[in-house]
Chain A
């Protein structure tokens, strides 16, 4: 493992499997009387959230606490810190408080990278979602969930077919998933209207399509991305109704999936928009399980970054 987790591309196959295997062991403690390990006692983990995301923050907080780390929640959202120097000043404050790891969520792509490489702080940086760039722990929990259902909870995802549907252009989840799933050997297809695929997507390690129906029969896991209704105003698609008809997952489409296929969503969902309520609540939907797996995966990440010796910048462990 590298010292920071900024992008899913920071994980090679061995690293990714190490995280998933570690998470699998750690998942057991949820069944125990004492859901806590002493491993990170005396270590401080700061949740630095410049953007509201209660679910991600809670997931990291639970992960850190189950490892006995001290957790400081720093919610920096608000008009006074929306500009300029605040990231640096905040970082210096956290450094003075002795943060061993900073889990950062920021609306600006690259902010975690900046935090990790600016020299402002010494600790590890974990990207908890930056702008429209990446969300590597989400991709790890998605891969963990897929592995459980599609690969017997072991090894990689070689040959598994994953279809990711929706607003790829603005999705950090999609970017991290494409990178990680490709590393793990899965075959990823991005399905979206052409307006919501980034320029240069043909250089990504995945296939693309504009036609959802053509892919469902050959899918082991389908992941629906949140589509913000505001995108309509910027002419990415004509109307909610048209989007939902062309790219939404409803019961009719779900019926085309193979029996073993699972339905995923990183949340929060727009029920009725990209996913029908009956699909979200269907037995093959693993959306709630994704949340639970998120804690295990984040425990694994925090343990692997903080559980050992402090390493010099950029040193491989």
Chain B
């Protein structure tokens, strides 16, 4: 653990009144009135005008390692996460080999630890090889060094109702949660974009909203029936929002996430046939975007999760139907949420902290993240400048891939610094530390 002490002066905690923060020994040692903190030999950071939030937590990241290191590695993904203000990411299981054994999840966890920029928390596969037929050894993954609590076949839907039911029941033994990629497979065979008038005009096979909503509806009923916890990945439709809202009102233990891109982008972008906009679930309509924003604002949707999906150039530099699905998200998530939710007045910074840190940490049972900014708490923080717009340059991203849909777009805020347990991983907007300088 670093012995360095940092004093962050005049920072607006959660967008409130300015204060000084003293970070020492991995925790927030003191929170004082602005200018009042004193610490011998500490590194001073003038944070006038900056906002401090708890380090962001991403429930849904594809780090691609092992298997597709040409797209991303745990190390490059960690750099991207830190640059985006994250201190913890959940690494999805659809790697090669699939993270369906204790050995594989421990490997990912260890790679994350070695990279040392964010806490990489592996997600375990629900079924062997994401095959949807046989449960993976969920208990072994739970009791491994990685202490897996979130299980998902993301990329594929656990569509067999019996397998889904058993998974929901089984993870209760270790307080796990099944994170469902809600996509009815038969309704979405070879689907290319949101199904609607535009897909008809563009001649692209439709991915109907009902294919998501049917699974969400089934799964909340299953979760209700067996008294289990359910998490719904990347909710993308107004109909799913209504189902989740109703389920929550009935007391079903369901949580949900939305991606930044589903909060900002619509299917109209597909008219360019540029595969950088090809993603699963697909970009939806204006009405869906509005419903998702409202649901995130009122808490029906608990969390923003990036679904960061790096792809090498050749998988995107091609015709639409041949292109891979997915877009980068870690380094733009905070900016996109600021534009979609904060600039619009739907969330304040405390609300952003809740949806991007507190609730995702709680859903993933990640102690030590998503904590209040208070004395004695782990010093996981992000400092952002709410008045410094940033234009996205794909070439300047930390990720190994460049498939951002925001190239050239100006987002309203910048990440200035990120602290992981009191140690800076980003300072002045640049990634610092990591494996090479780990104490």
Query: Could you list 25 examples of A-B contacts with CB < 8 Å?
Result: A82-B322, A84-B314, A85-B317, A85-B318, A87-B322, A109-B192, A109-B203, A111-B273, A113-B272, A114-B319, A117-B272, A117-B274, A130-B203, A131-B203, A131-B321, A132-B204, A133-B204, A175-B203, A198-B200, A199-B196, A199-B200, A199-B208, A200-B200, A203-B200, A203-B201
Which of A117, A132, A199, A204 is the one whose CB lies under 8 Å from B203?
A: A132
Q: Is the CB of B320 within 8 A of A199?
A: no
Q: Give chain B nearest CB distance to A15 CB in angstroms.
A: 19
**With A85-B314, A85-B317, A200-B196 in contact, do A134 and B203 touch (Cβ < 8 Å)?**
yes
Q: Is the CB of B319 within 8 A of A199?
A: no
The complex places the Cα of A132 from the Cα of B321 at a distance, in Å, of: 12
Q: Is the CB of A199 within 8 A of B199?
A: yes
Q: Is B197 an interface residue (CB 8 A)?
A: yes
Q: Is A108 an interface residue (CB 8 A)?
A: yes
The complex places the Cα of A84 from the Cα of B316 at a distance, in Å, of: 8
Q: Is A110 an interface residue (CB 8 A)?
A: yes
Please name 12 further chain A to chain B contacts, defined as beta carbons within 8 Å, in addition to the given A88-B318, A106-B319, sorted by A numbering: A84-B314, A109-B204, A109-B273, A111-B320, A113-B272, A114-B273, A118-B317, A131-B204, A132-B204, A133-B202, A200-B200, A201-B200
Question: Across the interface, which residues of A come within 8 angstroms of B322, CB to CB?
Answer: 82-84, 87, 108
Q: Give chain B nearest CB distance to A130 CB in angstroms.
A: 7
Question: Across the interface, which residues of B come within 8 angstroms of A57, CB to CB?
Answer: none
B208 to chain A: closest residue by CB: A199
CB-CB contacts of A31-75 with B at 8 A, as 1s and 0s? 000000000000000000000000000000000000000000000
CB-CB contacts of B174-217 with A at 8 A, as 1s and 0s? 00000000000000000010011111111111101000000000
Please report which residues of chain A, range 190-248, place their CB below 8 angstroms from some CB of chain B when the two chains form the complex: 198-201, 203-204
Q: Is B137 an interface residue (CB 8 A)?
A: no
The complex places the Cα of A88 from the Cα of B323 at a distance, in Å, of: 12
* B contacts with A, residue count (CB < 8 A): 25
The complex places the Cα of A17 from the Cα of B86 at a distance, in Å, of: 58
The complex places the Cα of A83 from the Cα of B324 at a distance, in Å, of: 11
**With A110-B273, A200-B198 in contact, do A84 and B203 touch (Cβ < 8 Å)?**
no
Question: Across the interface, which residues of A come within 8 angstroms of B208, CB to CB?
Answer: 199
The complex places the Cα of A148 from the Cα of B12 at a distance, in Å, of: 75
Question: Across the interface, which residues of B come within 8 angstroms of A85, CB to CB?
Answer: 314, 317-318
The 8 A-B residue pairs with the shortest CB-CB distance, nearest first, are A200-B197, A133-B203, A110-B273, A198-B200, A109-B203, A132-B203, A108-B321, A108-B319
Q: Is B224 an interface residue (CB 8 A)?
A: no
Q: Is A265 an interface residue (CB 8 A)?
A: no
Q: Name the residue in B197, B205, B273, B317 with the highest tally of chain A Cβ atoms < 10 Å from its Cβ.
A: B273
Q: Is A172 an interface residue (CB 8 A)?
A: yes
Q: Is B315 an interface residue (CB 8 A)?
A: yes
Q: Give chain B nearest CB distance to A282 CB in angstroms.
A: 32
Please report which residues of chain A, range 71-120, place their CB below 8 angstroms from some CB of chain B when the two chains form the complex: 82-88, 106-111, 113-114, 117-118
* B residues apposed to A, CB below 8 Å: 192, 195-206, 208, 272-274, 314-315, 317-322
Which of B195, B202, B318 is the one whose CB lies under 8 Å from A84?
A: B318
The complex places the Cα of A134 from the Cα of B315 at a distance, in Å, of: 24
Question: Across the interface, which residues of A come within 8 angstroms of B273, CB to CB?
Answer: 109-111, 113-114, 117
**With A87-B318, A114-B273 in contact, do A109 and B202 touch (Cβ < 8 Å)?**
yes
Q: Give chain A nearest CB distance to B124 CB in angstroms.
A: 31
Q: Is the CB of A198 within 8 A of B318?
A: no
Question: Across the interface, which residues of A come within 8 angstroms of B320, CB to CB?
Answer: 108-111, 114
Q: Give chain A nearest CB distance to B323 CB in angstroms.
A: 8
The complex places the Cα of A117 from the Cα of B203 at a distance, in Å, of: 18
Q: Is the CB of A111 within 8 A of B199?
A: no
Q: Give chain B nearest CB distance to A153 CB in angstroms.
A: 31
Q: Name the residue in A84, A107, A204 with the highest tally of chain B Cβ atoms < 10 Å from its Cβ.
A: A84
The complex places the Cα of A82 from the Cα of B273 at a distance, in Å, of: 18
Q: Name the residue in A117, A118, A199, A204 with the highest tally of chain B Cβ atoms < 10 Å from its Cβ.
A: A199
Question: Across the interface, which residues of A come within 8 angstroms of B195, CB to CB?
Answer: 199
Q: Is the CB of B199 within 8 A of A200?
A: yes
B314 to chain A: closest residue by CB: A85
B317 to chain A: closest residue by CB: A88
Question: Across the interface, which residues of A come within 8 angstroms of B317, CB to CB?
Answer: 85, 88, 118
The complex places the Cα of A131 from the Cα of B273 at a distance, in Å, of: 13
The complex places the Cα of A83 from the Cα of B203 at a distance, in Å, of: 19
The complex places the Cα of A29 from the Cα of B114 at a distance, in Å, of: 75
A168 to chain B: closest residue by CB: B200
Q: Give chain B nearest CB distance to A106 CB in angstroms.
A: 7
Question: Across the interface, which residues of B come within 8 angstroms of A86, CB to CB?
Answer: 318
The complex places the Cα of A109 from the Cα of B192 at a distance, in Å, of: 10
Q: Give chain B nearest CB distance to A177 CB in angstroms.
A: 13
Which of A84, A132, A172, A175 is the one whose CB lies under 8 Å from B315?
A: A84
A178 to chain B: closest residue by CB: B201
The complex places the Cα of A84 from the Cα of B324 at a distance, in Å, of: 9
The complex places the Cα of A176 from the Cα of B322 at a distance, in Å, of: 23
Q: Is the CB of A111 within 8 A of B319?
A: yes
The complex places the Cα of A88 from the Cα of B206 at a distance, in Å, of: 25
Question: Across the interface, which residues of A come within 8 angstroms of B203, CB to CB?
Answer: 109-110, 130-134, 172, 175
Q: Is the CB of A110 within 8 A of B197?
A: no
The complex places the Cα of A268 from the Cα of B319 at a distance, in Å, of: 26
**With A84-B318, A106-B319, A110-B320 in contact, do A203 and B202 touch (Cβ < 8 Å)?**
no
A115 to chain B: closest residue by CB: B319
Question: Across the interface, which residues of B come within 8 angstroms of A113, CB to CB?
Answer: 272-273
B196 to chain A: closest residue by CB: A200
A111 to chain B: closest residue by CB: B319
Question: Across the interface, which residues of B come within 8 angstroms of A118, CB to CB?
Answer: 317
The complex places the Cα of A110 from the Cα of B199 at a distance, in Å, of: 12
Q: Is the CB of A87 within 8 A of B319?
A: yes
The complex places the Cα of A107 from the Cα of B195 at a distance, in Å, of: 19
The complex places the Cα of A169 from the Cα of B275 at a distance, in Å, of: 22
Question: Across the interface, which residues of A come within 8 angstroms of B198, CB to CB?
Answer: 200
**With A110-B273, A113-B273, A114-B273 in contact, do A200 and B201 touch (Cβ < 8 Å)?**
yes
Please report which residues of chain A, range 116-138, place their CB below 8 angstroms from some CB of chain B when the two chains form the complex: 117-118, 130-134
The complex places the Cα of A172 from the Cα of B201 at a distance, in Å, of: 10
Question: Across the interface, which residues of A come within 8 angstroms of B272, CB to CB?
Answer: 113, 117
Question: Across the interface, which residues of B come within 8 angstroms of A87, CB to CB?
Answer: 318-319, 322
B203 to chain A: closest residue by CB: A133
Q: Name the residue in A108, A117, A172, A201 with the highest tally of chain B Cβ atoms < 10 Å from its Cβ.
A: A108
